[in-house]
Amino acid sequence: MNKRTLGNSRFEVSALGFGCMGLSSGYGPATEHQAALAVIRAAVEQGVTFFDTAEIYGPLTNERLVGEALAPFRSRVKIATKFGFKVGPNGERLDGLDSRPTHIKEVADASLKRLKTDVIDLFYQHRVDPDVPIEDVAGAVKELIAAGKVKHFGLSEAGAKTIRRAHAVQPVTALQSEYSLFWREPESEIMPLLEELGIGFVPFSPLGKGFLTGKIDANTKFDATDFRNVVPRFTPEARKANQAVVDLLTTLASRLKATPAQVALAWLLAQKPWIVPIPGTTKLHRLTENNGGASLVLTPSDLSDINTASDQMTLQGARYPAHLLKLVGR
């Protein structure tokens, strides 16, 4: 797989990374342990060198899984993890955020142990904490970098002013936020800022939480523990209304002898050379399919067709329920 560099950082990774969250939480029951190990290791064998996790995934269990899976390949891969949510002593998820510098350092030490490594390649603030100045957060990560425990600093779902303030204290290597043909809002303000500052962009949910694969329709039933049950954009009515974007991808995929997912990923990769999407999956055949998107080249005509059609669509439903929308763009 081709490599890409996130911004001006010289942080080089595979053109597609792998989002590990869904192996442990978010989209239904956790994947059986050996099967989850197999998917992560298959990603390495297919050329993926960038793996994304967080202490809150599980909580804690996803980092342990990633650490075990990647231990034999540690010198070949980059691992990103995150701090900022509250987790109880027994791994239970608690309400609220915590980006106090002392807590950031505690999380770093605990994550290093779970990941079976001596350095975190990319350490993101998972959500902006309004109770802690971002300068203090950036300063804490700067100290972790000086101590050799972290290599690069990242932000997730941060707003433009916060990104600029953080970057002034400790250069931000990457912003992770949602971006796809299902959610193009970052194009208006965030992406120009990232280009100005030389910050890479790591889109999560690059396949619209599965919707852009063409395998979900208005009649799809999700597991009771699936996060999409509370997402307004995934109500049956919204799914029916938003089918046009899938139809667009399906038509082009048929012409290119590809799949809708591959076209969606290729479109993202074509937007900027410093974009590295992190699709996730629990299935080996979907992993192979997604990675095929990295080698699909869309012509200027293809991209124009997609953008023209997409610009005419107004997709229905918010991407998060109200209580989670409060945590983004701050």
Q: Where are the alpha helices (DSSP H) in the chain?
A: 33-45, 61-70, 101-114, 134-146, 160-169, 190-197, 236-241, 243-256, 260-271, 284-292, 300-311, 322-325
Reading the block at residue 248, the tokens are: 């667009």
Pairwise CA distance, residues 313 & 285, whole Å: 31
Q: At what angle do helices 243-256 and 300-311 cross, to 10 degrees?
A: 170
Pairwise CA distance, residues 63 & 75, whole Å: 17
Radius of gyration of the chain (CA): 19
Pairwise CA distance, residues 268 & 262, whole Å: 10
Contact yes or no for 126/82 (Cβ under 8 A): yes
DSSP 30-87: PPPHHHHHHHHHHHHHTT--EEE--TTTTTTHHHHHHHHHHGGGGGG-EEEEEE-EEE
How far is residue 48 from each of residues 90, 154, 250, measured CA to CA in Å?
Answer: 32, 20, 26
Instruction: Give residues with Cβ within 8 angstroms of 177, minimum separation 6.
Output: 156, 157, 158, 186, 190, 201, 202, 203, 204, 328
Q: Which of 27, 57, 124, 179 is catalytic?
A: 57
Instruction: Give residues with Cβ within 8 angstroms of 105, minimum separation 6.
Output: 140, 143, 144
Pairwise CA distance, residues 308 & 312, whole Å: 7
Contact yes or no for 129/120 (Cβ under 8 A): no
Note if 57 is an active site residue.
yes
Residues annotated as catalytic (active site), given as ranges: 57
